[in-house]
Structure 1
Amino acid sequence: MTERTISRFIERHYRHFNAASLVDAAKAYCAHLDGGGKMLVTLAGAMSTAELGLSLAEMIRQDKVHAISCTGANLEEDVFNLVAHDHYRRIPNYRELSALEEEKLLSQHLNRVTDTCIPEEEAIRRIERAVIDEWSAASQAGESYFPHEYLYRILLDGRLKESYQIPPEDSWLLAAAQKQLPIFVPGWEDSTLGNIFAARCIEGKAASRAMRPGIEYMVALASWYESTCSEHDIGFFQIGGGIAGDFPICVVPMLNQDLLKDVPTWSYFCQISDSTTSYGSYSGAVPNEKITWGKLNATSPRFIVESDATIVAPLVFAYVLGW
């Protein structure tokens, strides 16, 4: 797409309201990169099941994304989609399902995420069988790794290659593994593989010490931020709300206020969210509120696009990629 077809369409038609915010955020993203800045992207919700990898993987390959904070669900669901895409079932009329119809999906081992059902055996259990060997080996050796490092290992050693059901270039986690992109996964225990790991620990088939915890993720994030900001401005592109965004943005006030360092605040901020701005809703807080917490400053470019991230994020990425 060398003619910037999507970018030109966006610039011509997206002139007001949330549409204009999308354009402003995309242009500022480009300006941030052009100025030598780095970008951390956060993934909440079910963006991997929404197949954001179709654009995010290329963003990673072209060095438009330099670190990712994501939920455990987004981490694993990209790999689930990679090996089981043909077995997924789309439910266009999901809003009309009765409770009994939902139970029927359960009996068929189809776990629904909005309009898409993830097949348990072909997706979840296939990845469990691959990763349990790594968990067991680390447990027996007294070693410890982050959740994403185990998935990086099974992706890079090729053991899943024969099971791929989508073009591998459409997997954002595979692209990240190939780049050895820094990934931070707060609250990983709240995921399918996190639940399975806990079950294996209860059975004695894995040791809890084999999984490095969330506090160590924060320590690693602090190290990455401090070393990176010494040479580059760092931006924050937040898709959705929740822990994927709340966790990493706090690293700046932690470094400055709790460790008494002197690091710069995030140099760019954009949040795509359908959370209504309201009293007490962190995900619905406007970006200015983050200034009072020492996360942003008065000159940081700040954007909020109150819309569906599955629509907005691919358009912003397309613009940044020059499509």
Structure 2
Amino acid sequence: MSKNRGPISQFIDHHYKHFNAAALMDAAKGYEEHLEKGGKMMVTLAGAMSTAELGRSLAEMIRQDKIAIISCTGANLEEDLMNLVAHTHYERVPHYRDLTPQEERDLLDRGLNRVTDTCIPEEEAFRRLQQHIEKRWKDAEAVGERYFPHEYMYQMLMGGDLEQYYEIDPKNSWMLAAAEKNIPIVVPGWEDSTMGNIFASYCIKGELQPSTVKSGIEYMTWLAGWYADNSGGQGVGFFQIGGGIAGDFPICVVPMLYQDLEMEDIPFWSYFCQISDSTTSYGSYSGAVPNEKITWGKLDIDTPKFIVESDATIVAPLIFAWLLEW
């Protein structure tokens, strides 16, 4: 182990020897080896990792070029910005398991939308973003321009639209770090996010056209080109946090290129790790072991494969800490 590593890395190196702890350590070292050999890494974000403030470590991973591309849900895309501009208005509810239906309704009536133990304030978070992104949508449509969901958010960040509201240290916003690096993001199923719902409402009212925001199919066709251009050499690894569409969507680009476009020399993903507490019962894809992905043309026999069956809010920051030598 490098003598430059900080106390967190030293702790996990000393203590994490077996079971899920050992799987965490193996995955971190595999990620590190992949980068050292010149490989690139896609990180996928499911769940509510932005509300879990993963940006505290993820942003530095982006700044240090340890992530080449991100796939995330629309919720993770927007909730990092909400935390950036409305953090002091959030409320924690540690006893969330004990809330009655009436207490849940009381939170709604106060404009607080709960994500497990954390309530996001509607007025200071959702509506604050809405007024600025609405202008970006309408300005683009007025001149016949179209962008991906994340590109509109990059425009707000780099244009300084939100600086007046910052309530956390900007270095802890992974979206701001990504915008400054201009790394690509893929956001499958963006329509089911709050901003996606708001955009749909403008389309229903006839104030915007659906085509003003580029679609999921366009994300897939763009990703196909990006993967083909970046999969040479050591190739592209796949680091999946949680399950769901954030991981399912981008991992399919390889079999699409190989099988549907008949690019038989396209490389498989060259590293795979998933942090998940899902199981394989009832056909759960999120809980499928990595070997199942061999049958779908996503991973190869000798692809380094890791699965850490644990809470991603605990595991991901530790793996990132190892990679950052904290």
Global fold match (TM > 0.5): yes
1:306 alignment partner, one of 285, 288, 309: 309
| Counterpart amino acid of residue 310 in structure 1 | T
1:40 alignment partner, one of 31, 39, 42: 42
The match for 2:177 is: 175
| Counterpart amino acid of residue 196 in structure 2 | G
User: After superposition, where does 1:266-285 map in structure 2 within 5 Å?
Assistant: 266-285=269-288
Task: Say whether residues 1:318 and 2:286 are aligned partners.
Answer: no
Contact 2:275 2:307 in 1 (8 A): yes
User: After superposition, where does 1:206-225 map in structure 2 within 5 Å?
Assistant: 206-225=208-227
- CA drift of 1:277 comes to 2.6
- Secondary structure at the aligned position of 1:200 is classed as helix
The match for 1:237 is: 239
2:140 alignment partner, one of 120, 138, 141: 138
Cα distance in structure 2, aligned partners of 1:139 and 1:204: 13
User: After superposition, where does 1:47-66 map in structure 2 within 5 Å?
Assistant: 47-66=49-68
Deviation sequence 1:15-70 (CA, Å, 0-9, x none)? 11111000000000000000000000000000000000000000000000000000
Cα distance in structure 2, aligned partners of 1:5 and 1:279: 41
Runs of 4+ in structure 1 off by over 6 angstroms are none
- Secondary structure at the aligned position of 1:74 is classed as helix
Cα distance in structure 1, aligned partners of 2:299 and 2:250: 13
Give the number of aligned pairs.
323
The match for 2:18 is: 16
- Secondary structure at the aligned position of 1:139 is classed as helix
The match for 1:67 is: 69
Cα distance in structure 2, aligned partners of 1:189 and 1:210: 13
Cα distance in structure 2, aligned partners of 1:92 and 1:108: 18
The match for 2:83 is: 81
| Counterpart amino acid of residue 103 in structure 2 | E
The match for 2:166 is: 164
| Counterpart amino acid of residue 276 in structure 2 | S
Comparing 273-282 with 220-229, which one deviates more in the overlay? 273-282
- CA drift of 1:3 comes to 4.2
Cα distance in structure 2, aligned partners of 1:62 and 1:321: 8
Cα distance in structure 2, aligned partners of 1:88 and 1:106: 13
Comparing 157-166 with 236-245, which one deviates more in the overlay? 157-166
Comparing 197-206 with 151-160, which one deviates more in the overlay? 197-206
Task: Say whether residues 1:296 and 2:299 are aligned partners.
Answer: yes
- Secondary structure at the aligned position of 2:192 is classed as coil
1:122 alignment partner, one of 114, 121, 124: 124
Cα distance in structure 2, aligned partners of 1:163 and 1:17: 44
1:228 alignment partner, one of 230, 235, 240: 230
| Counterpart amino acid of residue 307 in structure 1 | S
- Secondary structure at the aligned position of 1:153 is classed as helix
Deviation sequence 1:224-273 (CA, Å, 0-9, x none)? 10001134411000000000000000000000100011210000000000
Structure 2 gaps of 5+ residues are none
| Counterpart amino acid of residue 281 in structure 1 | S
Identical residues among aligned pairs (%): 67
- Compute the RMSD of aligned alpha carbons: 1.0
Comparing 148-157 with 196-205, which one deviates more in the overlay? 196-205
Cα distance in structure 2, aligned partners of 1:279 and 1:94: 28
Cα distance in structure 1, aligned partners of 2:252 and 2:313: 25
- Secondary structure at the aligned position of 2:79 is classed as helix
Contact 2:34 2:234 in 1 (8 A): no
| Counterpart amino acid of residue 80 in structure 2 | D
- Secondary structure at the aligned position of 1:322 is classed as coil
Comparing 204-213 with 101-110, which one deviates more in the overlay? 204-213
| Counterpart amino acid of residue 61 in structure 1 | R
| Counterpart amino acid of residue 302 in structure 1 | K
| Counterpart amino acid of residue 312 in structure 1 | V
- Secondary structure at the aligned position of 2:44 is classed as strand
- CA drift of 1:4 comes to 1.8
Cα distance in structure 1, aligned partners of 2:122 and 2:4: 40
- Secondary structure at the aligned position of 1:204 is classed as coil
Task: Say whether residues 1:193 and 2:198 are aligned partners.
Answer: no
- Secondary structure at the aligned position of 2:43 is classed as strand
2:266 alignment partner, one of 256, 263, 278: 263
Cα distance in structure 2, aligned partners of 1:92 and 1:3: 34
